[in-house]
Amino acid sequence: MKALITHGYFIHEDVKEGEIMRPYPPLGMLYVSAYLKEHDVDCYVLDSTFETKESWKLKLEEVQPNVVFFYTNLMTKINVIYLSNWLRNQYPGIKTVVGGPDVTYNLQNYLNNGFDFCIIGEGEQTAHELIQVFEGEVSLSEITGVAYLKNGELVQAPSRKKMKDLGELPLPDRKSIPIEKYLEVWKKFHGKATLNISTQRGCPYSCKWCSTAVYGRSYRRRPAEAVADEILMLQKDYGVEALWFVDDVFTVKHKWIEELHAAFQKRNLKVDFEIISRAERLNEHVLKLLQEMGCFRIWIGAESGSQDVINAMHRAVSVEEVRAKIKLTQSFGIEAGTFIMVGYPGETEKDIRQTANHLRLAPPDQFTITEAYPIKGTALYNEIEEIITEQPEWTSTTDREIRFERPYPDQYYKMSVRYIANAWQSSKSRQEKRYKDYIKFSIKEKMAYLFMQGYKWN
């Protein structure tokens, strides 16, 4: 049986990515491919990132698979549904399976749109067992972690137990995709050949807005020695100069950081890399280890400069600690980035002003900002479900389009994004003694705030 693994992300369609050009290989798919090949499955990966829909179709026709596994998430769902519909119409005999973070809480939706099976949670073992079902070696009733329709009714198998020992996983099947294209893009736009790497699965924290649909609220880690060996391989085989660790909270366990540092020293290894951390999981000892290994940027979760909003999110951290750790990180010569969210349920204009002030008091080197939106299956979604005012048609929209009751209209929050962004820019300009920029962004900040007041009553 011939299996094909694919997704629905096309970089040429992504306007924002076209501006920043920071594409990464689809690691989740590559782990599934490596696992299937290790179990002697004839497996192909069709990475859509640098394709068009037409070239995707031609390549799928060349492979002529018996089963297609689609990976989907919040932003690629619409394309995945389009591609699977085309596949079903052109090749009705091919089985279609879908998995990924958007699937777990939308089983009925995906199955109603023509998919034969949904994979719930981690995909490696379930994908392999489904192939055994298709080959007649295993009964469908024997496997876990799947959902399907039987006589039009949803059948959901028991949850699959999560992999305990991540050391048993093969390395991602990077050779199955045009990885040189990723390296070329990074070298051209950012000066360093960069790839992504994963060292853990799961997140033990309980932020209300965050989805844990695939790996759950757990903490499982690959052996530090294996991670160091993988990095050496990436340097040797691909000329990698920098890495993005995709882990939700890289610094959860300090002992593991110490083990990784020791593994680096043992191999005389150093590489530029960036990570995500929580503020309270950083201290001088950990920052020194990270610096010595090559860490050049740490994204420190914050989401708001208002303690009331942070408490509502169940972030379990203080605004003061976030600011202190941004400054401490920068004192080690490591850039500090942060994430900001506006329009969270219960947020007031006072909270938004506090967020702007938060970025002035401890300006990060970079930050991202977005309007809050509820992902199905999260505590945030459950909290606002009864006050949803606009639930768009599922197949043609994403959760970003869901609207719920908030104190002010949408334009107010869009302008608050500009207000906060300009507050950060003006503060950074002043800090760096770029006084013309400081004046420019200060004016923009004040104008955005005035527009906020105007939209408040519309």
Domain ranges of the chain: 2-156, 192-366
**Spatial separation of the C-alpha atoms in residues 250 and 293, rounded to whole Å:** 14
Give the pairing of strands 220-221 and 200-201.
Answer: antiparallel
Beta bridge partners of 5: 45, 69
* CA separation for the pair 79, 76 (Å, rounded): 6
* Two structure tokens written together for 14: 């992504």
Nearest-CA neighbor of 31 among 95, 126, 134, 156?
A: 126
Separation of CA 154 from chain center? 29
Residue with tokens 């991602």: 172
Query: Which whole-number Å values give the CA distances from 452 to 28, 409, 419, 442, 457, in the listed order?
Result: 41, 10, 8, 15, 9
- Per-residue pLDDT in tens (0 to 9) along the chain, 458 residues: 999 999 999 999 999 888 899 999 999 999 999 999 999 999 999 999 999 999 999 999 999 999 999 999 989 999 999 999 999 999 999 999 999 999 999 999 999 999 999 999 999 999 999 999 999 999 999 999 999 999 999 999 999 999 989 999 999 999 999 999 999 999 999 999 999 999 999 988 888 888 887 788 889 999 999 999 999 999 999 999 999 999 999 999 999 999 999 999 999 999 999 999 999 999 999 999 999 999 999 999 889 999 999 999 999 899 999 999 999 999 999 999 999 999 999 999 999 999 999 999 999 999 999 999 999 989 999 999 999 998 889 999 988 899 999 999 999 999 999 999 999 999 999 999 999 999 999 999 999 999 999 998 76
User: Which residues, 6 or more positions from 422, have their beta carbon under 8 angstroms from its beta carbon?
Assistant: 441, 442, 444, 445, 448
The span from the CA of 16 to the CA of 149, in Å, is: 37
DSSP string, 200-223: EE------TT---TTT-S--EE--
Going from the C-alpha of 36 to that of each of 106, 376, 381, the distances in angstroms are 25, 30, 35
Query: Angle, nearest 10°, between helix axes 319-331 and 284-293?
Result: 40
User: Residue 403 is which amino acid?
Assistant: R
Burial class from Cβ neighbours inside 10 Å (0-12, 13-18, 19+) for residue 150 reads: exposed
Query: Please, are residues 101 and 123 in contact by the beta-carbon 8 Å criterion?
Result: no
Question: Looking at the domain 2-156, which fold is it?
Answer: Rossmann fold (3.40.50)
Query: Where do we find the tokens 């192939």?
Result: 131
Q: Cα–Cα distance between 21 and 38 in angstroms, integer?
A: 33
The two domains 2-156 and 192-366 share their CATH topology (first three levels equal): no
Residue (of 247, 370, 355, 371) closest to 299 by Cα position:
247
Q: Which two tokens stand for residue 226?
A: 């294996």
> 192-366 is classed in which CATH architecture?
Alpha-Beta Horseshoe (3.80)
Conformation bin of residue 294: beta by default, left when phi > 0, alpha when psi is -120 to 50: left
Helix and strand tally (H, E) in the chain? Answer: 16, 17
